[in-house]
Structure 1
Amino acid sequence: MCRIILVITDITEKKKLEEILKKYATFDDLTGSYNRRAGFYALEKYFQLAKRRKEPLSIVFIDIDNLKYINDNYGHDAGDYILKKVTDVLKNTLRESDLIIRVGGDEFVLGLPNAEEVDVHKIFQRILNQLQNVKVDGNVRIDLSYGVSEYKDFQKDISPESLIKEADNKMYEMKRAKK
């Protein structure tokens, strides 16, 4: 006599939970952009690909000007609105292949494959123009400071971290020039 025992387990709920956890581990909950850890991992992959193909890669460091002022004077809902609007404009202006990474409260890093610095400045003019119409309480407008670094000429002793640092320094130069 032969006995067969069949056990069937429905793993649908487990798979759904795994997908939700993966999403939270990869994306910023508020903006839907990559979070710092997942975004920098993807940026490293973009860098390696650019290096292998000998193609340019631009890194942009963005800071939303006066977000602390907006949070302090108009509330965190207003600040969240600004973060979402900036992210929406970035997503609608940039290519699908471009990386948008939220690295901190009011800071983003972009990875733009096959983009040279001169092109990035043109793109940012479009982004800044779109943000001119976005205001808090009818009168406080959004402005961004940004810095660009470019992997070009296929430098050997350069890393994504050094490109991010260079873009960050240039962003602070722009911010100081506005004051």
Structure 2
Amino acid sequence: MAAAVIIIIIALIFSAAMLTGVMLIAWRSFGRPRHALLWAAAFAVATVEWIANLAFRIAQAEDNGAFYAAIAGLSCLSNALIAAGFVQRSRPQAGPAPFLIAAAGAALLIAGAAIVVPHDGVRDATGLLFGGAMMAISAAHVGRGFRTASLPERSVTLMLMLFALLDGAMAVIALRQGIVGQGEAFALFRTILLLLYPPAFIGVGLFSVFLVAADLAETMRTLATSDMLTGVYNRRGFEDAAERAIRNAHRQRQPLSVVVADIDGFKAINDRYGHGVGDRALRHFASRIERLVRRGDLIGRIGGEEFALLLVNTRPQDAVEVVERIRRDIAAMPVSGPDRVVMTASFGLTGLRPGDISLASLLARADRALYRSKLDGRDRVTSAEELEEA
């Protein structure tokens, strides 16, 4: 058994060291996310913990109370840094200080049960309960909005919850050891610790790496589908999202409207005030639209000063009212800055029809309606349906 324990500890040392390196690479390569650095620190501490554990076992000093307190303190610190990383991923402004304080408190309690008033059951259970609490906190912050979470987030949440339950169950068994670890409870505790704790530890580490990689992939997808200047969809992102919305509207037999908007005289704004003011005008235009549409509607910048909207579950006649509010708001609210630029916009819109199988046909009709708005004097809204009726 002693040889098997040493082999497992050596495997844990290499696993923790490998996870430390992977997290450092992820931190360095993926935009230096602070939570990845905290996880790298957590696995580095775990590496030191397992090295110390191996050294004391080889020296046959593992029953020393001070030894156990030191190892347990490192374990608490590692678990606290893991939890701090998950919280910081969820809330970037959060710092690790509360977790470090909690780890110090747990380490003191363990030291008391290992040195001052020796009690093996309390000593082991305290460390396990602290670890379980840290895993539960981590799961709560990854799994908020579990139904809308990504597959990697759900997987990590389940792994953390299993780890927390394992720690809790082992703490109950540890308490049954009594003051001096002996008997069936002691044997069961050591067996579970040997068989289940290493794969749980490695599992949490690997799934944390997957989560960092998934976050990077999501960031890359966002960059690929977002307009860097205004923050709304770019043309590709808008087309992809709109095609899905059109298919969904056909399936559910719901109305849908598409709007094309163009800032009037945008070239003159650039020529008179410069491209910096022109960029501010584009951001202003996108932000005003975002304020006036519902959550779930789509906004995209599909050209230089041309934007598109998709209004879900909205008939063309209702879309006219929505777009009129946007038009009046744009004309009434000057662009922020010392120049106080006032601009207007022209709009063309159309509704989804049974024969519309793609976004292209809706954009074509909305473009024709927009062209009519320009011909009629700009700063107005034209519906393709109203044009056809006329």
TM-score > 0.5 by shorter chain:
yes
> Structure 1 residue 141 and structure 2 residue 315: aligned?
no
The one-letter amino acid paired with 1:45 is: R
Correspondent of 1:76 among 275, 282, 285: 275
Question: Which whole-Å deviations, capped at 9, do the CAs of 1:126-175 have from their partners, x for residues lacking one?
Answer: 1122222333634x5211111111014xx135421100111011101110
- Corresponding residue number in structure 2 for 1:23: 222
Which structure carries more relative contact order (alpha carbon 8 Å, separation 6+)? Answer: 1
In 2, the alpha carbon distance for the partners of 1:157 and 1:40 equals 14
CA contact (8 A) 2:242 2:298 kept: yes
- Deviates further, 65-74 or 16-25: 16-25
Question: Which whole-Å deviations, capped at 9, do the CAs of 1:7-27 have from their partners, x for residues lacking one?
Answer: 212165333654443332121
The one-letter amino acid paired with 2:238 is: G
The one-letter amino acid paired with 1:107 is: E
In 1, the alpha carbon distance for the partners of 2:228 and 2:269 equals 20
For residues 87-102 of structure 1, the aligned pairs below 5 Å read 87-102=286-301
In 2, the alpha carbon distance for the partners of 1:79 and 1:24 equals 22
- Corresponding residue number in structure 2 for 1:53: 252
Aligned pair in 2 of structure 1 residues 157, 77: CA closer, same or farther (>3 Å)?
closer
Which residues of structure 2 form unaligned runs of 5+?
A: 31-211, 379-390
In 2, the alpha carbon distance for the partners of 1:126 and 1:157 equals 27
- Corresponding residue number in structure 2 for 1:123: 322
Correspondent of 2:239 among 40, 45, 50: 40
Deviation at 1:112, TM superposition (A): 0.7
- Corresponding residue number in structure 2 for 1:65: 264
The one-letter amino acid paired with 1:49 is: N
Correspondent of 1:151 among 342, 352, 355: 352
Question: Which whole-Å deviations, capped at 9, do the CAs of 1:42-79 have from their partners, x for residues lacking one?
Answer: 00000000000011110001111111110011101111
The one-letter amino acid paired with 2:257 is: S
In 1, the alpha carbon distance for the partners of 2:216 and 2:245 equals 29
Structure 1 or 2, whichever has the larger Rg, is 2
Aligned length in residues: 176
Query: Which has a greater percent of strand?
Result: 1
In 1, the alpha carbon distance for the partners of 2:346 and 2:278 equals 17
Equivalent pairs: percent with the same residue? 36
Query: Which has a greater percent of helix?
Result: 2
CA contact (8 A) 2:356 2:362 kept: no
- Corresponding residue number in structure 2 for 1:86: 285
Aligned pair in 2 of structure 1 residues 84, 157: CA closer, same or farther (>3 Å)?
closer
User: Under a length normalisation based on structure 2, what TM-score does the superposition of the two structures give?
Assistant: 0.43
